[in-house]
């Protein structure tokens, strides 16, 4: 799947990750969508490079699950890092 496909999947999956992990995001919906795109790309790269899992086509469920897991992990890390930083300065 091409980079444009991963960006589209990442935008949708970023919104899904926000729905799965509700709560206050330090950056809002734009940052969540960017995290979704980066998480989708990261999930696709890690799955193919480290685990040898082919991501499949745009409409393949495996592609969407890999992107969702990547987005959830990245959103969790983002919340930990930015949330901790904002609590220490308050």
Q: Tell me what pLDDT residue 43 has.
A: 81
Mean pLDDT, range 30-58, rounded to an integer: 79
pTM of the model: 0.76
Q: Is the pLDDT confidence value at 87 over 70? A: no
What's the burial of 83, exposed, middle or buried (CB within 10 Å: 0-12/13-18/19+)? Answer: middle
Q: Is the pLDDT confidence value at 40 over 70? A: yes
Distance (Å, whole) CA 88 – CA 16 = 29
């Amino acid at each position: 799947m091409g980079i444009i496909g991963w960006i589209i999947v990442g935008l949708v999956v970023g919104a899904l990750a926000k729905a799965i992990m509700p709560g206050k995001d330090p950056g809002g919906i734009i940052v969540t969508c960017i995290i979704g795109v980066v998480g989708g790309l990261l999930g696709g790269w890690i799955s193919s490079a480290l685990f040898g899992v082919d991501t499949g086509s745009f409409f393949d469920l495996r592609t969407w699950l890999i992107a969702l897991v990547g987005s959830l992990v990245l959103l969790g890390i983002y919340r930990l890092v930015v949330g901790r930083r904002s609590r220490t300065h308050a």
